[in-house]
A = this chain, B = another copy of it.
Amino acid sequence: MTRRPKVAFLDVNETLSDLRSVVGAFEAQGLSSEHVRTWYLSVLRDGFASTVLGDNPGYSVIGEEIARSLIREVDPARDDAEVDDGAAAIMSAMVAAEPHSDVVPGLVALADTGVRVMTLSNGSADVARKLLGSTPADAAIERYLSVTDAGAWKPAPASYRHGLAEAGVAAADALMVAVHPWDLEGARRVGLRTAWINRSGARWPSLFAPPDIEVDSLTSLAHAVAQPTG
């Protein structure tokens, strides 16, 4: 990239956490690996719909509700207490998800370039802290931020402005890092630069303006940030 950002904001769900690590918890409730994606997309559906309506619901509240609905769908006979227990088990697994293999070395290398590193999640700050807190990346993270304190979920402008205000930097000095195009599009509208972590070799959707950087891992991102091109 052409000029090193002062702060990098890292999305958390899927960008840092590897949802494949929760498949076992879904299977223990009679669900399949494909239900992990259904769960996540359904959380975004209800979270984004709430955002459209001006609400700022708790990520885990929606997550647990969706888990209950999926369990009831595959096992209508299960009683309410068992459904609640199953949903709680799934949410516990979400909180105990593992980071992708590039995350810890990538975050450490990113901080080593001199860029301040913060997480900015639609989930709670505690989940991000739990994901990285016992790893060497914890020392690389200056702040764990959540939209809980922003008034609105990403991709609403208020969510990114919350990050900028907490960091005390201008939008042009900030880089939003995510695997999700919708997240980068929201950040771009506020004036942040954007880095797309594309681990799966996907195509950028034509619906949104292209990101400033596309890399296949957080370690590659640290390399790109360390070597300004102009």
A 61-104 to B, binary, CB cutoff 8 A, 1 in contact else 0: 11001001100110010000000000000000000000000000
Q: Is the CB of B53 within 8 A of A189?
A: yes
A 180-216 to B, binary, CB cutoff 8 A, 1 in contact else 0: 0010011001000000000011110111000000000
Copies in the complex: 2
State whether A48 and B52 are in contact (beta carbons under 8 Å apart), knowing that A202-B72, A205-B65, A207-B57 are contacts in the complex.
Answer: yes
Q: CB within 8 A of A45: which of B34, B45, B53, B189?
A: B45
Residue of B nearest to A41 (CB): B41
Tell me, rounded to whole Å, the shortest Cβ–Cβ distance linking A140 to chain B: 29
Q: Is the CB of B53 within 8 A of A155?
A: yes
Most buried by B among A46, A155, A186: A46
Q: A37: CB under 8 A from chain B? A: yes
Q: Is the CB of B44 within 8 A of A182?
A: no
Number of interface residues of A (CB under 8 A): 37
Q: Is the CB of A185 within 8 A of B53?
A: yes
Tell me, rounded to whole Å, the shortest Cβ–Cβ distance linking A151 to chain B: 13
The distance in angstroms between the C-alpha atoms of A51 and B45, with both chains bound, is 12
Q: Is the CB of A205 within 8 A of B69?
A: yes
Q: Is the CB of A69 within 8 A of B203?
A: yes
Q: A135: CB under 8 A from chain B? A: no
Residues of B within 8 A of A202 (CB): 69, 72-73
